[in-house]
Amino acid sequence: MQKTTAADHPSPTPSTAATRQLKRQQRRQLSPAQQQQHAKQVTRYIIRQAEYKNSQHIACYLANDSEISPQHIIEHAWQMKKTVYLPILSPLKNSLYFAPYHKNNRMINNRFGIQEPICSPSEWKKAWQLNLLLLPLVAFDTQGNRMGMGGGFYDRTLAYLNHFQHWKKPTLIGLAHEIQKEKKLVIQTWDVPLDKVITESGVYC
């Protein structure tokens, strides 16, 4: 994965745990002004991507713990009449569905204190029904490997992509601060690689 412009697992190794702790600490040290600047620059890169332009059903997330905020991306997608979704915890297993997210959605906190849209389960989408999925992360490398918070929710949700190579949906793009880049992450068999990672410094693909 090369820069073209200016993983979750349940039993982390000591090196993985240390990397996760370090990267979370580093992004927390970014000032509010830096956070805002990075989010705006990532948005500029995202909206130029063919995968974004050609997508109608796009899943984002609500930033937590100093993650890159996709709020500007969400607002741009609304302006472009795209349908935006947010992840919601499955009531039956530790994986994710995606619920439509509108400006005036009523919201509820899940068990981790993260807000989810309130809507009928008939409106929920599975990952394969989306065109584009924008993911948060703790660390990444230039081969498209992602380290998440450690819960494995995205990996379980996207596990079908490792088993059915003909499935191409959705495109997976990680959003991160440049300081979250690592030279090489430890990879597990259940990890699902990203198609791209975008930071304030450029696009890795």
Rounded to two decimals, what is the model's pTM?
0.90
Question: Using 50, 70 and 90 to split pLDDT, how confident is the model at 2?
Answer: low
| Helices and strands in the chain, H and E counts | 6, 11
Contact 58, 85 (CB under 8 A): yes
Give dist(CA 62, CA 69) in Å, integer: 7
Question: Using 50, 70 and 90 to split pLDDT, how confident is the model at 149?
Answer: confident
| pLDDT for res 11 | 43
| pLDDT for res 13 | 52
Domain ranges of the chain: 14-204
Q: What is the pLDDT of residues 97-124, one digit of tens each?
A: 999 999 999 999 998 899 999 999 999 9
Helices assigned H by DSSP within 4-79: 14-28, 32-46, 50-53, 71-79
Give dist(CA 54, CA 71) in Å, integer: 19
| pLDDT for res 6 | 44
Q: What is the pLDDT of residues 183-202, one digit of tens each?
A: 999 878 778 899 999 999 99
Query: Rg of the chain over CA atoms, in angstroms?
Result: 16
Contact 173, 134 (CB under 8 A): yes
Class of domain 14-204: alpha beta
Q: What is the mean pLDDT of residues 81-104?
A: 93
State what percent of residues in the chain have pLDDT above 90.
Answer: 73
Contact 182, 1 (CB under 8 A): no
| pLDDT for res 27 | 96
State what percent of residues in the chain have pLDDT above 70.
Answer: 91
Q: What is the mean pLDDT of residues 34-38?
A: 97
